[in-house]
Amino acid sequence: MQTEARLTDPAFWQMPLRDRMTEMIPIREQGPFTPASFENPMTQETEEFFVATRYAEIVELSKNPKTWCSGKGAVAVPDMPEEALEFFGSFINMDDPRHARQRGIVARSFTPRQLQNVLDSVDTICTEVIDGFCEKGEVDLVEVMSQPFPLLVICDMMGIPRSEFDTVLQATNVILGGGDPEFMGDGDPMMALFEAGMSLTNLMNELAEERRENPTDDLTSKLVHADVGEEMLAPNEIAPFFILLAVAGNDTTRTALSHGINLLSENPEQRNIWAGDLDAVTPTAVEEIVRVASPVTFMRRTATEDVTVSGQDFTEGDKVVLLYGAANRDPRVFDDPETFDVRRDPNPHVGFGGPGPHFCLGAHLARRELSVAFRQLFTRLPDLELAGDPVPLESQGMPLVGGIKRLPVRFTPTAPVGA
């Protein structure tokens, strides 16, 4: 199969991570930009785009949002209808000044100081989650931990009641399922997406209204109340932000956690290094998991003018997909890039996006979640091991998040500690 066709083949994205990234090597080495095309499922028309696979070019495009914008069509490969752009993605689908305004409002509540209560709660929630399955001995780790843990953190942060957790989980699975039939059902995929988005929107609008009347100390209250002189999100901006947070903030950590366990299984010597010195190794190990797994597969940028990058000519309107996983294994930047090294330092990966205005706002929280999760797994379930092969997400094209749908593990049962 031709290179460009391989990149849009669902079977390619359902391969084991190691095999997929091995196939990416010749694609990256043939040049910094690879032309590709796909059939848009909404229009049945063939659309062309470029794929950026090298570190330097992804960094350059990320740092130049005026030339390479996010708000023209979508950050996914196919353009989305205007109403869908307003519905999904929040400010990752926007450019300045609108992007700067919304991100700035949210960023006030996303500083390490403002997030301290949330960061403190991560330990408690992780303990609660592991307590829920530690006596069983054999489980699907995605179902019992990777999936609920980061989403519970986000729901608690926003003030979403636990009674609504399943609603949020099902909706986020649809939105980031990449068209996986298990999550989408038998109906029209676009209708399933809109129904999931509407479910989250209604939930968030009701909560925002409640917090306007009865403020608490959660993030929703902070977003609907402002100090004198401070801007706040408009009522119609609250729900899209929550959808972004519930989807992006949940699924990236969920995917990194699942891939991390699989990587440790494939590299037992690295597991021993990490387990032998948790305090020293955890910071670099978390970064290495994000580098190697690159949970966010890509973001798309669109040229706003004619421009040449690394010898490739682009015209206004050209689409470029930034493949973060390929950049994170670029031998021009990383020594021995295919090797998983929990002590890798320096590690300037782009797993949280390239430098620039769209760098992941929740990177600090994601690092905290992953650090806590692996520390507790090492100390509470030290002999945890795979009990079968990972089951990939059955995406129907190039997925925004390259997820693991199921990950069977076994371990010696232990007693809950949080009772």
User: What does the H/E/C string look like for the chain?
Assistant: CCHHHHHCCHHHHCCCHHHHHHHHHHHHHCCCEEEEEEECCCCCCEEEEEEECCHHHHHHHHCCCCCEECCCCCCCCCCCCHHHHHHCCHHHHCCCCHHHHHHHHHHCCCCCCCCHHHHHHHHHHHHHHHHCCCCCCEEEHHHHHHCHHHHHHHHHHHCCCHHHHHHHHHHHHHHCCCCCHHHHCCCCHHHHHHHHHHHHHHHHHHHHHHHHHCCCCCHHHHHHCCCCCCCCCCHHHHHHHHHHHHHHHHHHHHHHHHHHHHHHHHCHHHHHHHHHCHHHHHHHHHHHHHHHHCCECEEEEEECCCEEECCEEECCCCEEEEEHHHHCCCCCCCCCCCCCCCCCCCCCCCCCCCCCCCCCCCHHHHHHHHHHHHHHHHHHCCCCEECCCCEECCCCCCCCECCEEECEEECCCCCCCCC
Residue 416: inside a domain: no
Q: In this structure, are residues 146 and 393 in contact, taking their beta carbons and an 8 Å threshold?
A: no
- Within a domain: residue 59? yes
Burial 327-343 (b: 16+ CB within 10 A, else e): bbbbeebbeebeebbbe
Q: Residue 16: give the domain boundaries.
A: 3-410
419 located within any domain: no
pLDDT at 74: 67
Q: Does some domain include residue 109? A: yes
Q: What is the CATH number of the domain that holds 353?
A: 1.10.630.10
pLDDT computed for residue 1 by the predictor:
43
pLDDT of residue 127: 97
**Within a domain: residue 100?**
yes
**Quick check: is 194 in a domain?**
yes
For residue 295, the model assigns a pLDDT of 93
Per the domain annotation, does 72 fall within a domain? Answer: yes
Could you tell me if residue 417 is inside a domain? Answer: no
pLDDT given at position 317: 94
Task: Output the six-digit token pair for 137.
Answer: 């001995």
User: pTM (2 decimals)?
Assistant: 0.94
Number of independent structural domains in the chain: 1
**pLDDT tens per residue across all 419 residues of the chain:** 455 668 888 889 889 999 999 999 999 999 999 999 887 766 777 889 999 999 999 999 999 999 999 888 666 777 776 666 666 657 788 888 888 888 888 888 777 777 788 888 999 999 999 999 999 999 999 999 999 999 999 999 999 999 999 999 988 888 877 677 777 777 777 788 888 888 999 999 999 999 999 999 888 988 888 765 678 888 888 888 888 888 777 878 999 999 999 999 999 999 999 999 999 999 999 999 999 999 999 999 999 999 999 999 999 999 999 999 999 999 999 999 999 999 999 999 999 999 999 888 889 899 999 999 999 999 999 999 999 999 998 877 788 787 899 999 999 999 999 65
pLDDT for residue 96: 87
